Chain A
Amino acid sequence: MKLLIAILENVFLVSNARLNQMSDPRFGVSDRDYLGDILIHSAQDKSVGASGVTAVSLRSLNKSFGNVAAVVNLDLDIPQGEFFSMLGPSGSGKTTVLRIIAGFETASSGKVMLEGADVTELAPFDRDVNTVFQDYALFPHLSIQQNVEYGLKARKMGKAERAKLASEAIESVRLTHLADRLPHQLSGGQRQRIALARALVLRPRVLLLDEPLGALDKQLREEMQVELKRIQREAGITFIFVTHDQEEAMRMSDRIAVFNAGKIEQIGSPREVYENPSSAFVASFLGVSNLISGTHAEKLFGSTDLVNIRPERIRLIATSAKAPAGEIAVAATITDVAYTGANTLFVLETDEGLRIIATKLNEELQGQDLGLEVGNKVLASFRKEHVAKIPNQ
């Protein structure tokens, strides 16, 4: 019965939120893109609805440390099997939320539910979730094998079975040859994989990952991103992933919650939060943004409302050319050019003093001579549907 209520509640909440957004006139500009996303996600929601379970629900969650409010009145539903990221700057409350779900912190008020069951008062060892810690938290006195067996031993599993499961888990992260080593004899990436094996060997319903790739160098981090995504897909476990790296979050997640000052600013698919940020904070935290408001906006779009245009949506054309139909063009001077590998970044300034950032694929620029040099004038042109209105100004 409890379960049924939880399902209904979830379906109701999701559809309600969606209806509100769809009927919101502020979304008018890019309805087409947005609707596409909704269709994709409705299909996903349906499959979730079929399995019927919300893995994690938070209700009116609050947490303060002394006078500092770390989490403010947070509601959140994460369906089973989702790769869910909590993204935000440090101190935005994302790690605190993770620690409350794990049970390391107790909420000041509000409820934590795992698969519909209230676990707010339960200790970490009574919750069916496991955590991969930021600095791995491997036990330094135990071998890799013993580290992975630790949780199985706590569950009073027999010696032979324990050894078998642990060996399998170590094999699944391809470190069998290091099973007898101590943690300090392993590299950061290897320790990371052991931390993952140690948590996954317990077959948790939900895996919590607290910036697990933060300490790795870039190349290793990207390998691990692929690896994590594969494991999540194969195991079918709900992943809740905390990170401050927007690229990482977008690359892996089904949905992203963008945190700011203890609240969720926006929640949605990577495409939704990137293309249609709900606030200036989200727009500037995810990638580079051109936030335009006030008189500049009025002159260009006929309204002083805040809008955002992504730099890669801006085309640079010769001043002599005419703006194509359906595009808005503005004359600007190039004030800076930076080569960044795959892209070149241009900083432009209009005569009215509006600063615009545009990026171009170097592939696209090859062989063209547009005179894209500092001091030259160009037209910055963009399609109307790529101007995203920011609903929360």
Chain B
Amino acid sequence: MRVIEKAPARAISSYLYRNPKARLAGLLALPLTWLIGVYIISLFLLLITAFWFIDPFTSKVRPGFTLDNFVNLITVPAYFATSMRTLGIALAVTVLTILFAIPLGIFMAKIASPWLRNFLAVAITLPLWAGYLVKLLAMRLTFTEQGLFNWLMEPFGIRGPGFGIPVTILTLAYLWFPYMALPVFTAIRQLPNNLFDASADLGAKGWATVFRMVLPLITPAIIAGSVFTFSLSLGDYLAARFVGGTTQMIGSIIASNISLNPPVAAAFSMVPIAFVVMYLMVARRTGSLERI
């Protein structure tokens, strides 16, 4: 009796068992709908929009095909400078997070006691739980004219840089640090201790060990981390807005054109994507993605 009761469900299961393609379709239907329907199509629409233009008389978006938007990216000095500035900021953020992440990772993975290691791992991830604006505000309060930094440094006659590119870089590094620190820590954790012993045994001092052994071995983790720090920095505009003073980034231009001139905003949106693709191609070219 029980078997008969279950029969319809059982029939479906049996059918799926006999037809691997149907099984695959059932598995992938939902994620593929999401990926293609929402993600790819919207990106594609964005790309198409980049070739449209604004009707000078009606100020409305007109479908068509023009390369003007892309030409402007390069020929308008303010646009070009903004792209380069954003690229520089993103690279600086990435380098800064790497510089912080490696010593911290070595300490956490190889020196700290288990308790301290867990504490630091939580301390690193904790900021991810806090809201984005909260962190921006914290940085703003730190570096504002009467802020913590200036107050602390006053006795030494040092004044903070004020809101501008340096504080933007610091803030972005602060925002994206967990994305670099965690993969780097995990990668160093997986390095056998006796590789460190062997390096010292063969005569390599601390620096030499880091540059010749640790760094090459954790390169995949650094690249994984830098994809986040680099691409998130490229796309960011709120940091520049709140702690950047007059600093403009690609995001700032997209944001200000989003309703005013969607084709320009769309063309600009392609820039970070192009940068990230170029970055990954360079990373692949160096061979650091395959060797390990």
A interface residues with partner B (beta carbon < 8 Å): 102-104, 123-125, 129-131, 133-135, 137-141, 150-151, 153-155, 198-199, 202
| Total CB contacts across the A-B interface at under 8 A | 66
Q: How far is the CA of A129 from the CA of B197 in the complex (A)?
A: 13
**B residues lining the A interface (CB < 8 Å):** 192, 194-195, 197-205, 208, 212-213, 216-217, 291-292
- The closest CB in chain A to the CB of B208 belongs to A154
| Nearest CB on A from B30, distance (A) | 39
- B203 touching A202, Cβ below 8 Å: yes
Residues A131 and B197 in contact, CB atoms below 8 Å apart: yes
Q: Are B217 and A137 in touch, CB under 8 angstroms?
A: no
User: Of B200, B202, B292, which contacts A140 at CB under 8 A?
Assistant: B292
A150–B216 CA distance with the chains assembled, in angstroms: 14
Bound together, the chains give a CA A137 to CA B197 distance in angstroms of 9
* Chain B residues positioned under 8 Å from A130 (CB to CB): 201-202
Chain A residue at minimum C-beta to C-beta distance from B292: A141
Q: Rank and list the top 8 A-B pairs by shortest CB-CB distance, nearest first.
A: A151-B202, A154-B203, A137-B198, A124-B200, A137-B194, A154-B204, A141-B216, A131-B201
Tell which of A133, A150, A198 touches B194, judged by Cβ atoms closer than 8 Å.
A133
Question: What are 29 A-B contacts with C-beta separation under 8 Å?
Answer: A102-B197, A102-B201, A104-B200, A104-B201, A124-B197, A124-B200, A125-B202, A125-B203, A130-B201, A131-B198, A133-B197, A133-B198, A135-B192, A137-B195, A137-B197, A137-B198, A139-B198, A139-B199, A139-B217, A140-B292, A141-B216, A141-B291, A141-B292, A150-B199, A150-B204, A151-B202, A151-B203, A153-B212, A198-B202
| Cα of A103 to Cα of B212 in the assembled complex, Å | 21
Complex Cα–Cα for A202 and B200 (A)? 13
Check if A124 sits within 8 Å of B213, measured CB to CB.
Answer: no
Contacting residues, chain A, for B199 (C-beta < 8 A): 139, 150
B197 to A, closest residue via Cβ: A104
Which residues of the other chain, A, contact B208 by a CB distance below 8 angstroms?
Answer: 154
Tell me the bound Cα distance from A124 to B199 in angstroms: 9
Cα(A135)–Cα(B195), bound, Å: 10
Complex contact A139–B201 (CB within 8 A): no
Residues of B within 8 A of A151 (CB): 202-204
Is A125 a contact of B200 with CB atoms below 8 Å? yes
B213 — which chain A residues lie within 8 A by C-beta?
A: 139
What's the Cα separation between A306 and B194 when bound, in Å?
A: 43
Partner of B203, one of A104, A133, A139, A155: A155
A302 CB, min distance to chain B CBs, angstroms = 54
Chain B residues whose C-beta falls within 8 Å of the C-beta of A104 in the assembled complex: 197, 200-201
Given A131-B201, A154-B202, A155-B203, verify A140-B194 contact (CB < 8 Å): no
Q: Considering residues A123, A139, A155, A198, which has the most beta carbons from chain B within 10 angstroms of its beta carbon?
A: A139
User: What is the chain B residue whose CB lies nearest that of A129?
Assistant: B201
**Which of chain B's residues have a CB closer than 8 A to the CB of A125?**
200-205
Partner of A137, one of B192, B205, B212, B216: B192
Cβ-defined contact, A123 with B200, below 8 A: yes
Q: In whole angstroms, what is the CA distance A137 to B213 when docked?
A: 12
Q: Which residues of the partner chain B approach A154 to less than 8 Å between Cβ atoms?
A: 202-205, 208
Closest chain B CB from A125 CB (angstroms): 5
Query: Is B212 a contact partner of A150 (Cβ separation < 8 A)?
Result: yes
A345 to chain B, nearest CB (A): 39
Contact partner of B200 (CB less than 8 A), chosen from A103, A134, A135, is A103
Q: How far is the CB of B200 from chain A (nearest CB, A)?
A: 4
* Chain B residues whose C-beta falls within 8 Å of the C-beta of A102 in the assembled complex: 197, 201
Given contacts A154-B202, A154-B203, A154-B204, contact A141 B197 (CB under 8 A): no
Residues of A within 8 A of B200 (CB): 103-104, 123-125
Measured CA separation A124–B194 after assembly (Å): 13
B residues near A141, Cβ cutoff 8 Å: 216-217, 291-292
Residues of chain B with a CB closer than 8 A to A129's CB: 201
* Contacting residues, chain B, for A155 (C-beta < 8 A): 203
Instruction: Give the residue of A103, A123, A134, A150 whose beta carbon is less than 8 angstroms from that of B202.
Output: A150
The CA of A125 and the CA of B209, in the complex, are separated in Å by 11
